[in-house]
């Protein structure tokens, strides 16, 4: 088991046992490079190899790509705990739980890669998710608006289609693993929605109009046109928000430097 996974699980167990102390006196520092192994090699998103899912190499590449997302999601959840101070205690509990569940997801996928004769790090990957973390590290409102509600929620949209393709090619094992991940990711997006609305309430902001403004101001990635409305509703999106997301999905993302290099995220 990778050391990071062990440490995250130990941290979550310590929190549950009441052994963690939040230090709000020490200022959070920028984190351009989070804790990660030497591999996978990080490349531009357009340089990540595309392979057919019906081939053994294509299946490995797909599972590796999802494992890479889950690994980065661990860092995103931990950064949400570390970076933003003075929120209710439940905020920190929620994001530590997310980190532990992302670690579990990563381990499931890494174990599946091992069965297929591969390992995390064998394929090239991109750094788009962490780039978005850097771009949103100045404000918890921006982080909650754009990472869980766009990038994490994209997983809700695309996972059923990936599962269908896997089952069509006879890989029910991986498809079943994604059932576990989809279930938990609905909860993660719900946590993002909860804390986004909490911060909006604290600041006297309208959540829908604020989301639309932040989407355009921060060069967010394109929203998937085909949304998993059922999963998004379970995660706390209401009809007004879904209508807004549908309207944004037909617009090109804002042409800002921040939008560059974010293709292919969740």
- The pLDDT assigned to 178 comes to 97
Cα-Cα end-to-end distance for the chain: 25
Does this model's pTM top 0.75? My answer is: yes
Backbone angles phi and psi of 125, in degrees to 5: -145, 175
- The pLDDT assigned to 1 comes to 55
Residues 151, 129 contacting (CB under 8 angstroms):
yes
Task: Provide the residue ranges of all domains of the chain, joining segments of one domain with +.
Answer: 54-256
Tokens found for residue 231: 């999963």
Residues 234, 264 contacting (CB under 8 angstroms):
no
CATH 1.10.760, applies to 54-256: no
Each of the 266 residues of the chain gets a pLDDT tens digit; together they read: 578 999 999 999 999 999 998 888 888 898 888 888 889 998 888 777 777 888 999 999 999 999 999 999 999 999 999 999 999 999 999 999 999 999 999 999 999 999 999 999 999 998 888 999 999 999 999 999 999 999 999 999 999 999 999 999 999 999 999 999 999 999 999 999 999 999 999 999 999 999 999 999 987 777 877 899 999 999 999 999 999 999 888 765 554 333 323 333 33
User: What does the alpha-carbon distance between residue 97 and residue 103 come to, in Å, rounded to a whole number?
Assistant: 10
- The pLDDT assigned to 218 comes to 85
Name the one residue in this structure whose structure tokens are 């929190």: 15
pLDDT digits (tens, 9 = 90+) for 28-56: 898 888 888 889 998 888 777 777 888 99
- The pLDDT assigned to 249 comes to 82
- The pLDDT assigned to 51 comes to 77
User: What does the alpha-carbon distance between residue 70 and residue 77 come to, in Å, rounded to a whole number?
Assistant: 10
Secondary structure (DSSP) of 157-178: HHHHHHHHHHHHTT-HHHHHHH
236: DSSP letter: T
150: DSSP letter: I
- The pLDDT assigned to 129 comes to 86
């Amino acid at each position: 088991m990778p050391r990071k996974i062990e440490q995250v699980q130990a941290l979550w167990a310590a929190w549950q046992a009441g052994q963690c102390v939040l230090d709000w006196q020490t200022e959070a520092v920028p984190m351009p490079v989070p804790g990660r192994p030497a591999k996978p090699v990080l490349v531009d998103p357009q340089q990540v190899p595309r392979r057919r899912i019906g081939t053994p190499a294509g299946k490995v590449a797909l599972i590796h790509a999802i494992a890479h997302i889950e690994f980065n999601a661990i860092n995103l959840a931990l950064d949400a705990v570390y970076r933003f101070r003075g929120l209710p205690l439940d905020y920190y509990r929620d994001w530590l739980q997310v980190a532990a569940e992302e670690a579990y997801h990563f381990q499931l996928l890494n174990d599946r890669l091992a069965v297929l004769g591969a390992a995390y790090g064998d394929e090239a990957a991109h750094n788009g998710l962490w780039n978005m973390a850097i771009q949103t590290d100045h404000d918890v409102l921006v982080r909650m608006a754009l990472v869980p509600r766009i990038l994490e929620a994209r997983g809700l949209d695309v996972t059923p289609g990936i599962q269908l393709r896997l089952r069509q090619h006879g890989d029910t094992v991986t498809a079943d693993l994604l059932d576990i991940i989809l279930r938990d990711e609905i909860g993660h997006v719900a946590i993002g929605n909860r804390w986004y609305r909490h911060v909006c309430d604290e600041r006297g902001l309208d959540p829908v109009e604020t989301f639309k403004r932040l989407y355009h101001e921060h060069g967010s990635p394109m929203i998937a046109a085909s949304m998993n409305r059922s999963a998004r509703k379970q995660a706390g999106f209401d009809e007004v928000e879904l209508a807004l997301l549908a309207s944004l999905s037909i617009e090109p993302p804002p042409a800002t430097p921040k939008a560059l290099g974010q293709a292919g995220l969740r």
